[in-house]
Structure formats: C-alpha cells, structure tokens
Amino acid sequence: MEQPLILDRYRPLEELGEGGYGTVVLAYDTRMQRRVAIKRLPFPSDRSGRPVAPAGLAEARTAALLNHPSIVTVHEWDTDADEAFIIMEHVDGATLAELLRASDGPLTLDEAAAVVEAVADALEFAHDNGVLHLDIKPDNVIVTRDGRVKVADFGIAALSTSAGHGHGVGGTPGYMPLEQIRGEELDERTDVWAFGVLVYEILTDANPYYADTWEGAVFKAEVVEPPAPREFVPELPAALDDVLLTALAPVVSDRYPGVRSLANHLLAGLGDPRAGRRSLAALVEEACGEGLCDEVESEQVGLWDRLAPWSRAASGAAGALAAAWMAWAGLTPFALGGLAVGAASALLALAALLAPGLGLGVATVLLLAGIAREGMLLAAALLLVAAAAAWWFFGRRGATWLAALAGPVLGVARVSPAAPLLAGFMLPPLPAAVLSALGAVLTMGASAASGAGAPFTDISVAFLIDPWASAGGSQAARDLVSSVAPLMVVLGWSGAAAAMSLFCRSASRLMALLGTALGALVLLGGYLLADAVALEVNASVTWSSQALLLSVAASSILMVLVIAAGPPTRPEEE
C-alpha cells in the first residue's frame, strides 16, 4: 500500500533498514524526480509523552551537510513535530558489510587500498571542517556500482546520542574506543581508532572488538589485546601489523595523530587503489545480482508524483486561462470595446501566472461585476460574500482557487460532479469542502445561465463563448432559485469533497477508490434531498434524473482513471 508523502514531497518506496537511531527509507523525490534515502530519527519524549527536539540538532545538521566526493551527499535536512529527516542521495551499490558477507572473506590488498584512500579523504575533509564521524563501520561505507567508495552518516552518531538512542557519544559496539564509550572528550584520534578497526576487518574479515552488548564492548576495549592481522591472514605484509595495532592503541596519545598519517602508513603496504576500484565494482555487481542492492521498480511511482515538478507550471497555465475568461466575461457587459477587454484579459492572465491567488481573485471580482451589470444584483452580492470568504482563507495562497472553478469547466464535458472528488483528491478536507461548495454554486449558476435545467450539472459550450447571449437562461434561473433545493446540492458537494479528502490522507489508491465511492454516494444524497425539497414547491423541477445518475457515474469513472494513474500526492501530516 502506498505510504503518505514525507515532508509533502518524498514518496516512500521501501524500508531499507532499522537501527537504534530510527529507520532508513528509500523514497522518490517528486520534485527532482530521483530516488533518495531518508533517515528518520524520532525525537525523545518528555515526562508528559510529548516529543522534544534533542540538543545538538543544529550541530548534527551542519555535520551532515558536508560536501565531498567521498561523502554521501545530504540534499536536505528537516524536522516535523516528532522526528528529524535527513534526505540523502541514494547510492546505487552495496555497503562494505554486505560485500564482506557476500564474498565470505576479506578484501584483496588492491580493494582495501581503494577503501582506505576514499575513507581517509572523507574523514580528513570532515576533520578539517571540525566534524567527527564517531560511527565508522562497514555498514556506513558504501561502494557504488562503478567502484567508488563513499562514507555515510556524518552527524548521525552525535544526534542519535542526544536523542536518547545511543550510548556514550553515539557509535556502535565494537567500533568505539574507550574514551567514546565512557563519554570522555573526543578528537580526531577517536575516528582514527574506528578507522583502524574498519581496515582490520576488511583485511581479515574479523573484528577483535565485536560484542553484542555494551558491557562486552567495554570489556574487550579495556582488556583484549587484538591479535596481529597476520594471525588471520598470513599473506598480509608484516608492516601492516604494526600500523594497525598502533591505530588501535587503547591510550589516545599512542595512536596516529590523524587519519592522513594512518592512511599513508597503510597505503605503503597495500595495493593499487585504481585496480581496487575496478575489483570493487565487480564485487558490487555480483552482490547486486544476488539481490543485495535496492532494486525498486519505477512503476511504483505514480504519474502524479512524476508530474509534480511541472504542477506549478500546469496550474499557472490553467489559472491564466481561467483569469482571462473571467475578466473577458465580466468586462464584456460594460461595452468597453474589444481592444480594451482583450488587453485587460491578457493582463489578468499574466497576473495569474505570476501570482495565481491575486490574479484569480481580481478576475473573480470582475466576473461578479459583470453579473451585477446584467441586473443580477442579489446573485452578485451573495457570490461576492461567498467568494471573498473562500478566497481570503484559501484562494489567496495560490492555485487552490482553481478547485472552485473546476465545476463549470467539467460541466461542459457533462462530468461536473467530478469537481468535488478531484478537490478532495488534491486538497486537505477544509479547503476542499469550502471551495467545492463555492464550485457548486458557480456550476449551477453557469448551468442555469446556459439554459440547462435541473439538476444543473451540464453547461453548453455556447455559454463559455458568449455567456450573456445564451438562450433559455431566464426560465432556468427562475427554476434554480425557486426553492432552497440548491442548498442541498451545495452541502452534497462540500460533504463529498471532505469525505474524499479524508480518505485520501493515507495517500493510497485503495483508500482513494473508497473515498470516490463514498463521495459519489454523498453527491447523490445531496441531489436526492434537493429533489425532495423542490417537489414541495414546484413539482415540475426535478433534481434527480437518469441524466444525473449518468453524470455521477461518468464522474466516478473519471476518478477511477485519475487514481489508476497514481496515488494522491498528500502531505504526511497536517
């Protein structure tokens, strides 16, 4: 089942893993149209159970945003009410831990040289910028399909600790020196120790400090003297024993002063990094062939997610057309001349492109002015109050105002009841309900003006071409206002939009289909109530008919096609 968007942008595709800090999710960036990996770190709770942003959030954010070829890029860092989100590049490859498990043995000297060179570059760059990693381990080193090595999770260890998910100062048992486990003062030599453990492991496929518990990790760090690497792999150069044992010294001052010094000593006894990268690329391809890489089919991403980057341009174009038509229709009754009306319409179209809320709002006022000029003062006044309230609370924020104008446009295609369902598909419940109520009024008014009768769902093309010359509008308008029946339709549209929106909050196709079914029933209920009310006043005006059923059915089919193209793009939470 589709998951809600994260940060109103990222479509979760698959959970990649779970650790002490939270979860890692593979997601699709609907704006940039690319896959990303998202780390989700829940905030700790206070005594009342409310989430509290942990201390060190700003420092962790700065650490995560390091920019280096050997560091996994962090595209964005954000938080909501109860967790932090770190949005990173999705590295197409496998971790060193996965490669060691897949190869069932240590890396070659060439492969180890490629890893040492890249990890040292990444750590040196971070240290030069005042950032310690504090969680160097095979799971945090990723090898791409072309053999490049990248280090992930800068800043995560410190944030994990401040959020109550770690021990000491972040880190993982077996990859933390004593000073880190004890929570003492740390410096670059803390990462030197973890770097030494990492290299020891990739050369021997063994970690002498591995422990399942923190107590075991403390005991091994304090008591255990690691065996020389050549005791595991006799073919290793003898010089590497002294280099690695120096890096793993329990006393901080006995270690190498920095990762570059350690790397230089290591590379002197290792192989060719270039050959190592080629060999690592082959290992990754083999591992991916065994299903270790993240193979997610692109079909999991819906059409609406894919079109999201162009949604602003599309809504802008639609808003410009709507603003131009409303300005033209509103100014025509004033006999200003075709050139002046055309210029004003073009100006309003441009305004709607640059500022949709403002342009559409001004165009709506001009349309209401035209209605008043044609002698429908009461209708214009009522519409002005309703439109002003809807615009102030929702429409001025942008193109959401188009939800109120969708009904008349869809009415030309005989599917105006789809308008509230589409509004619920795209908008939160309250704006969807309010704008759909206004849309119902506009649709019924336009339908009556075009000469159509009850249930006022159809609009003739002639009305769009020349709204003030449409024949038959007078009797239809009298039928429309002959009772309070239209109010039932307004309530039906509003209720259908709200119901659809509530179901679509889960951002899944199944719930959207259920919302469509419920919304269609609510719509029909509104029209049936309108018919019952109208019968008490004028039996000749029938609000429920076979044509209405066909229109609602066609609208429902349209919504099924919309949902089949992709799940709703909705925010994760309000």
Report all structural domains of the chain as residue ranges with CATH numbers, in order of start: 92-294 (1.10.510.10), 310-397 (no CATH), 398-574 (no CATH)
- pLDDT tens digits for 137-187? 999 999 999 999 999 888 776 554 444 434 445 678 888 898 888 888 888
Instruction: Give the separation between CA 469 and CA 473, rounded to whole angstroms.
Output: 9
- What is the structure's pLDDT at 517? 97
- pLDDT tens digits for 85-133? 888 899 888 999 999 988 888 999 999 999 999 999 999 999 998 888 8
Residue 26 confidence (pLDDT) above 70: yes
Beta bridge partners of 144: 93
Instruction: Give the separation between CA 106 and CA 288, rounded to whole angstroms.
Output: 18
Residue 394 confidence (pLDDT) above 90: no
- What is the structure's pLDDT at 538? 64
Query: What mean pLDDT value characterizes the chain?
Result: 85
Spatial contact of 110 and 273, defined as CB atoms under 8 Å apart:
yes
Candidates 412, 409, 424; CA nearest to 492 is 424
**With pLDDT > 90 as the criterion, what percentage of the chain qualifies?**
37
Instruction: Give the separation between CA 548 and CA 280, rounded to whole angstroms.
Output: 65
At residue 473 the predicted structure's pLDDT band, cuts being 50, 70 and 90, is low
Beta bridge partners of 12: 27
Local structure of residue 206 (DSSP, 8 states) = -
Residue 384, Cβ density class (10 Å: 0-12 exposed, 13-18 middle, ≥19 buried): middle
Greater pLDDT, 256 or 478 = 256
Cα pseudo-dihedral 257, 259, 263, 264, rounded to 10: -50
- pLDDT tens digits for 329-388? 889 888 888 899 899 999 989 988 888 888 888 988 998 888 888 777 777 887 888 888
* For residues 214-226, average pLDDT: 79
Beta bridge partners of 35: 28
Residue 24 confidence (pLDDT) above 90: no
Looking up tokens 């190498």 gives: 256
Instruction: Give the separation between CA 11 and CA 29, rounded to whole angstroms.
Output: 7
Catalytic residue ranges = 135
**With pLDDT > 70 as the criterion, what percentage of the chain qualifies?**
89
Strand order in the sheet with 74-79: 10-19, 22-29, 34-42, 83-89, 74-79
What residue spans of 210-290 are helical by DSSP H?
214-223, 239-247, 259-267, 273-289
Tokens (6 digits) for 414: 């005989």
- pLDDT tens digits for 50-72? 766 665 566 667 777 788 999 99
